[in-house]
Structure 1
């Protein structure tokens, strides 16, 4: 696998890792914010229950009549609302009559909350949820209209039952602010993650450039050239970048040239030595036949040349050993 491909794999793997970690982080963050909102709703339901239990206790003790206790409980619960009216308690009686609501027009009327997408009424969804929860507490997330807006927005509603009076009460929060924070964090993640990825990609590409500069080419090309030279193929073509004289490939090419020169010198000296051996054989035969001093002088000169050539050949061969 080429170094360029490996670098691209590192960059892509890093990108996928950042995306997966970011998505998991964002998902956990959103779930955590929803859980905090859910816990807040349960806490407010407990607060409303404590109000009703207080006045119910006064009723049981005889200090207040049932009508007085319920009236004071309704007044105390109705007073707990946000200044803009977006957060409020609602209370329904056993026959689904609305007895506490910020809109006076809905109080005293049977109100089932309207049809939901699954065909049930909102009140029926609440009752089914309370039945399945088993602890008189039910918190759900659904789309609801906000006052002054026609668009349905996600809202987390919590409902509970107060059995002594047969009341079903609840409170809800729109959670579009959570989505707003979620997307804000997502944009921040994309910006930070993109910056980190660019930095990482730059460092990896710089590292790749340095490695290639030191090698003088792809690692597998250098390895292949070294393998061929080691197997005796000195004719392999080694391509260098312009002005490259310090890389591994440049050193390999220099070694190739020296090996070529040494090999050529050995071949040339071996050929010369072979010719001189033949001349020596002829001179030795001539001298053996004539025994003349001239032929002896020729034989000695041939031996001397043969010794010089053998010495040169020996030095050439010794360069391989060193």
Structure 2
């Protein structure tokens, strides 16, 4: 596995999994906290409202206590008490109401037109007998009662949930009550839910931003490694190219220069035997042919034209013909066309390097080159009957096996995604490469494709 792929597998995947797990945990915990908060807030809010209702009723009874405790039961005294209660308001929806114990409305600041009417059979949309139930609760010592009733501040006849508190004024046969609308509590809880939802959303967005930033950093690191690897490969190719020019072409051109200078001296001097001159010209011509062949070889080494013109099979067949040191049997089966240029070049380079290694080290009598293609893969195997080598020692020693490492690097590169297999024993060596027809779309190659120019 190449370095960039390791970065993707061991950095990006755990990072995404960890941040996803953190996101789910944060979301679960935040949602749980909101539910717990609702479970605490609603009862506390209701308890507060109930305490306020009791206090409001206590203040109302205190406001008319001088009349109620006077012992008078005449109409004038009662009218004065009703007038005082009618003026007591603590909000637009906070008012008091009075009924006698038979259900007749005695005072209601929001329903003045119904004062004097008997409301004993008044029911809310849910079927609750409001006045009967309130009177029963009041006569039982006072208490709370839930029902639905139109809310004055809403300017609508749509009933809203309401909780009222009622007590009995037994000396006058009255039921005194007041109430609060519970939709205010629902609105407060909805506001709490909205704030919590916004906080959860913001937290998730921050986690997502951190995830994207982290992924971007990993991508940039991978891109930097990719660029560095390409530059390193290019630098090695330049050094190899320069070395071949210096050690081969330049040396031969230098020798040709000396021969030409010698020929010029011969021609500038007194007439001599032409056979000497012809020998120099023939030797110079031979050196020029050698330089020409070497330059062609270097050009083919950069990217063999035969790969582009005739394809991988023909290029390998020509390579076996050009290799004269050891007999080579070449076999090709199946469809081996359709690979990318980097894949064709990687397989061609592998064959070149394997032949050269066999020539230098294997002491082989015969080589077999087998090229096979199926629907998914193209496989190239080079098998010799040489003396073999220690694969583990050669691949682990950084001072040896440069050619093998270059093979593996080319085959595992983006755009190839191949696999190299080595097997060696005293009876011979097998070098095998398998390349998929459609290389996997790796993470970095999709984002930053690098094509051979």
What range describes the TM-score normalised by the shorter chain of this pair? 0.5 to 0.7
Q: CA deviation at 1:44?
A: 0.7
- In the other structure, the counterpart of 1:297 is none
Q: Report if the CA contact (8 A) 1:130-1:160 is conserved.
A: yes
User: Greater CA deviation, 26-35 or 146-155?
Assistant: 26-35
Which whole-Å CA distance do the structure 2 matches of 1:24 and 1:177 have between them? 20
- In the other structure, the counterpart of 2:25 is 13
- Superposition pairs of residues 1-322 of structure 1, within 5 angstroms: 3=14, 4-59=16-71, 64=72, 66-81=74-89, 84=92, 86-102=93-109, 103-112=111-120, 114-117=122-125, 119-130=127-138, 135-138=141-144, 140-147=145-152, 148-203=155-210, 242=226, 260-262=395-397
Relative to structure 1, the CA distance from residue 201 to residue 244 in structure 2 (aligned partners, 3 Å threshold; closer, same or farther) is farther
Question: Over the residues paired in the alignment, what is the CA RMSD in angstroms?
Answer: 3.8
Q: Secondary structure at the match of 2:70?
A: helix
Q: CA deviation at 1:65?
A: 5.1
Q: CA deviation at 1:79?
A: 1.6
Which whole-Å CA distance do the structure 2 matches of 1:99 and 1:9 have between them? 64
Tell which has more relative contact order, 1 or 2 (C-alpha 8 A, sep 6+). 1
Q: Secondary structure at the match of 2:88?
A: coil
Which whole-Å CA distance do the structure 2 matches of 1:65 and 1:135 have between them? 22
**TM-score (normalizing by structure 2):** 0.42
Which whole-Å CA distance do the structure 2 matches of 1:146 and 1:263 have between them? 87
Q: Report if the CA contact (8 A) 1:162-1:168 is conserved.
A: yes
Q: CA deviation at 1:91?
A: 0.6
Q: CA deviation at 1:104?
A: 2.9
Gap regions ≥5 residues in structure 2: 1-12, 230-391, 401-453
Task: Report the structure, 1 or 2, having the larger strand content.
Answer: 2
Residues 265-294 of structure 1: per-residue CA shift (max 9 Å, x gap): 8xxxxxxxxxxxxxxxxxxxxxxxxxxxxx
Relative to structure 1, the CA distance from residue 261 to residue 51 in structure 2 (aligned partners, 3 Å threshold; closer, same or farther) is closer
Gap regions ≥5 residues in structure 1: 217-240, 246-256, 266-322
The aligned length equals 224
Q: CA deviation at 1:108?
A: 1.7
Which whole-Å CA distance do the structure 2 matches of 1:41 and 1:89 have between them? 10
Which whole-Å CA distance do the structure 1 matches of 2:73 and 2:137 have between them? 32
Q: Report if the CA contact (8 A) 1:7-1:205 is conserved.
A: no
